[in-house]
Chain A
Amino acid sequence: MSNWQKNPILTIEHMTMRFGGLVAVNDLSFDVGRKDITALIGPNGAGKTTVFNCITGFYKPTEGRLSMNRNSGQEYLLERMPDFEIAQKAGIARTFQNIRLFGGMTVLENLMVAQHNTLMDASLFTFGGIFGISSFKNAEKQAIENAKSWLERIDLIDRADDPAADLPYGAQRRLEIARAMCTEPEILCLDEPAAGLNPNESNQLNQLLHKIREEFGTSILLIEHDMSVVMEISDHVIVLDYGEKISDGTPDFVKNDPHVIAAYLGVEDEEIEAVEEEVKKEKSS
């Protein structure tokens, strides 16, 4: 039995998302294994980003149950929580396909905003901080230390005080991941982290993801188009097409699943069998 069935951190059951008459995601169920790298793939318009939006509270799913099992054993039902609590309590953080940094704030401040909750608690909603209570100052110092350690990990320590919008594209991507990590999540959701990166930047990104997984044991859920990346780094792959799950398993299993090949190459339903045979032949040869 695979890790995601034995020890799921996130379980999605019968999730449907409708926009008026359009069914973006239809009766989708899957598990995300603890400490796994799980990839969500599928052709354009398959509903991958919608799944992300539902998990992170950007949308409320029309139907279904999304339960998050934190490492502490606490369970949260995501579909019932307001968006800010999903980051605050359930421990889920995400990045966007089109980068959404706070462009007018400095690189360091971007990471500080993500540590807002720890700071707010320590400072009694800032009022303690105004009157110079020392525990607040320490919390602030720690937050800055933490932010700086992340800047070192992503090689941006020299640019800590520059506005985030001035960074090159690849660096913005890494910063967005670091910012998500500063909320101390147990699942990190990455929406096409490698999109638009050159091979060098894409390599840096892979290293960063490995570092995150080794150092923090964070489970990673990612949407990715680059198949070579997906097959190389993920433990578990889920394939969507037209809002439905067509395949779910290890990268090797998915790679050879005729439904997946059909979806990607675009064959008619009747032709699936033909493709299936072809795959079998290839394997035997």
Chain B
Amino acid sequence: MEYFLQQLINGVTLGSIYGLIAIGYTMVYGIIGMINFAHGDIFMVGSFIALMTIILLGITALTPAFILLAALLLVLVLTMVFTAVWGWTVERIAYRPLRGSFRLAPLITAIGMSIALQNFVQTSQGATNKPLQPLISGGIKVIEGIVSDRVFVVQLSYMQMIIIVTTLVLMAAFTALISKTSLGRSQRACEQDQKMAALLGVDVDRTISLTFVMGAALAAVAGLMFLLYYGVIDFYIGFLAGVKAFTAAVLGGIGSLPGAMLGGLLIGLIETFWSGYFSSEYKDVAAFSILVIVLIFMPSGLLGKPEVEKV
């Protein structure tokens, strides 16, 4: 039981990170029907920007707790802003010129962009792992007990708490943004009928750009969390995280925001439980097998709407 709880906490933490990245995939797919394969690498760029900001601000584990939290908040904001600029630029130079071209064209540039970003970071930052000493250590003991003469502790580290809380806050804010504000409304309008939205005076290009900006900002948050949680990043982390998050988006029903969050959580949980109970080598196989099984029975994902033929 204690073991289960511990795995649950770990799984939710990992799932939060996947969920944040998955939102970027699902939003872009929703609005222009394209899979942005470079999104995982935007996440990677985000984690590098976070690392640089942390080093530049001189934050170390010795910084007093209160200042540390304030500084990390500043890092969060800066990372979001700079990564958003990257997201905007990628859309502007690689996708917008191809809008209106045939469907596969932006897909190919997306893959190209992904490789370009990886190689750019590899050559400019070096191919070695970039470590960061743990900034936030410690945690609280949720359950402490004795199971067959062994002391068993279920621990929720402060880092995990920060990740889960930040994700919850951001997702709530984001859902409100999409459902309540004028920007969110025009975004949903563009999802349904771009031409009609334009005829009502909505600047479709700008709305699409803002979608990329928001997706990149959320990926940046995931990048920072990943960096703080695992303490090591390299130029290649975007690939696997990107594929997992994409899987999460498809599992939840691509195009659906709550679906992306749910899918991220599920993928995180499946992975953690599989490595916890069976073997950690096959955790990816487990996650992708579940995806295959779900898609066989629910082709549009868990929360996705079945595609309606437009007449």
Interface residues of A (CB under 8 A from B): 56-58, 83-88, 93-94, 96, 100, 102-105, 109, 112-117, 119-120, 123, 125-126, 129-130, 140, 179-180, 183
Contacts and interface: CB of A to CB of B under 8 A. Distances in A.
A123 B192 contact: no
Nearest to A112: B185
Interface string B189-204: 1001101111111111
Contacts of B202: 84, 113, 116-117
A258 B300 CA distance: 59
B200 A103 contact: no
Given A100-B193, A103-B192, A105-B192, A84 B198 contact: yes
B279 interface: no
Q: Say which size band chain B's interface belongs to.
A: 20 to 34
A76 to B, nearest CB: 14
B185 A93 contact: no
Nearest to A121: B182
A129 B189 CA distance: 19
A214 to B, nearest CB: 24
B188 A83 contact: no
Interface in B195-238: 195-204
B177 interface: yes
Given A58-B199, A130-B177, A84 B192 contact: no
Contacts, number: 84
Nearest to B196: A100
Contacts of A179: 200
B199 A94 contact: yes
Contact of B182 (A56, A57, A93, A126): A126
A31 to B, nearest CB: 23
A113 B203 contact: no
A117 B181 contact: no
A84 B189 contact: no
B156 interface: no
A123 B182 contact: yes
Contact of B185 (A94, A100, A109, A130): A109
A183 B199 CA distance: 10
A96 B199 CA distance: 11
Among B173, B188, B196, B200, find the residue whose CB has the most chain A CB atoms closer than 10 A.
B200
22 contacts: A56-B199, A83-B198, A84-B199, A84-B201, A85-B201, A87-B198, A88-B203, A100-B196, A102-B188, A102-B189, A102-B192, A105-B192, A109-B188, A112-B182, A112-B185, A113-B200, A117-B201, A117-B202, A120-B186, A126-B177, A129-B181, A179-B200
B201 A114 contact: yes
B94 interface: no
Given A58-B195, A88-B201, A102-B196, A129 B182 contact: yes
A93 B202 CA distance: 12
A87 B200 contact: yes
Contacts of A86: 199
B81 interface: no
Contacts of A113: 185-186, 189, 197, 200, 202
B183 A126 contact: yes
A114 B185 CA distance: 10
Given A83-B195, A87-B199, A130-B173, 19 more contacts: A57-B198, A88-B203, A102-B192, A102-B196, A105-B192, A112-B182, A113-B197, A113-B200, A116-B182, A116-B186, A119-B182, A123-B181, A123-B182, A126-B177, A126-B182, A126-B183, A129-B181, A129-B182, A130-B181
A93 B193 contact: no
A183 B192 CA distance: 19
Nearest to A184: B201
A83 B199 contact: yes
B98 to A, nearest CB: 18
A87 B189 contact: no
Given A104-B188, A105-B192, A84 B182 contact: no
B192 A104 contact: yes
A109 B191 CA distance: 14
A68 B193 CA distance: 26
A144 to B, nearest CB: 11
Contacts of B189: 102, 105, 113, 116
A115 B201 CA distance: 8
Contacts of A140: 182
A102 B173 CA distance: 24
Given A126-B177, A126-B183, A116 B200 contact: yes
A126 B187 CA distance: 12
Contacts of A87: 198-201
